[in-house]
Amino acid sequence: MATAVNAMEKNVSSLMDMTLEEIKRMSPSEIRIHIEKSKNSKLTFVSAFPAIGRGNVLRENLATTEQLNAGVDEILRNE
Amino acid sequence: MNEQDVYEFYNNTTKIVYVDIEARGNIAPVELLFEIHAAFDHLKRFHLGEKTEDEACQKALIHLKRASLDGYKLILYDFHEHYNKLIGHDTEHLRMIDNGQFLPKAIKLRNQIVDTARTARKNEGVTSIEESFDYWNRVYALIIQFEKEFLDDDKIDWAKIEGKTKARRSLRKDVLLALIVGIIAGIIATVIYNHVF
């Protein structure tokens, strides 16, 4: 069992190019920034339904913060 | 159960699974985020006096376990897509790798992954969930083994090139043979024609 658990810990360490302890200490934002830098692209929020999950009302309409802000700004401009 | 237990599970399991998925595909599945959100909401009920610490943490942990198990499933899903892409419709070029051993070994390991995952899924009920994690960890280790042994782009690209080269050589041989047969047939036809007429 220890070997199987270690496989993920080792792989994640390798994917992130940092120790497991460093990863555990990082905040979600820090992790996001680190991965975006290494991939040179923005993190994408996706819906994996129906592969997993028990229903997601945002299935077809996932929006980034930027898109939401742009949408709201557009509404406010027209008011 | 107390909050320490919940945070330790989050830090040692949920977060690691989540980071694996994020680091592979630069994606954040909202279903996992929802479960973490739900766990957070249960924890707050202890601090706002709505539930005892044990009650709130038990519920929170269920959501984190759900998130982690869903994470493993996504990793399996991702593997399944890579496997189908590898095998595809044409396995001729794969039969050239490692003296023909590549393809049967890949299929065998893939079957082992699927069998172990089936057992993991069967154990996802509340009473056997810890066993489920053991099996899912094994599935993960097997997937990593598969990725290292069979998703080596250099080997597969070599086989594709070799396959195309062999196909071209074979086509050239066939064309040449057809040409020679055609010429001979033409000569024979001409001789016969001249002899008869």
Q: Do B74 and A52 touch (CB under 8 A)?
A: yes
pTM, entire model: 0.77
The chain A residue lying nearest B9, using CA atoms, is A24
Residue A72: other Cβ atoms inside 10 A? 10
The verdict on ipTM greater than 0.90 is no
Residues of A in contact with B34 (CB under 8 A): 53, 56
Task: Map out the domains of chain A as residue ranges.
Answer: 1-42, 44-79
Neighboring chain B residues of A46 at a CB cutoff of 8 Å: 27-30
Contact A16 B74 (CB under 8 A): no
Checking if the pLDDT of B24 tops 50, the result is yes
* Nearest-10 crossing angle of helices B30-47, B15-25: 150
pLDDT (0 to 100) of residue B127: 73
Contact A45 B140 (CB under 8 A): no
Neighbours of A31 (CB within 10 A): 20
Which amino acid, B113? Answer: I
Give the C-alpha distances (Å, rounded to integers) separating A32 from A16, B18, B21, B74, B99.
11, 11, 12, 19, 43
Burial per residue of B31-53, b for 16 or more beta-carbon CB atoms within 10 angstroms, e otherwise: bbebbbebbeebbebbeeeebeb
pLDDT above 70: percentage of residues in chain B = 95
- How many CB atoms are located within 10 Å of the residue A35 CB? 21
For residue B55, pLDDT beyond 80: yes
Q: For an interface test with B, which of A12, A16, A61 has the most B Cβ atoms less than 10 Å from its Cβ?
A: A12
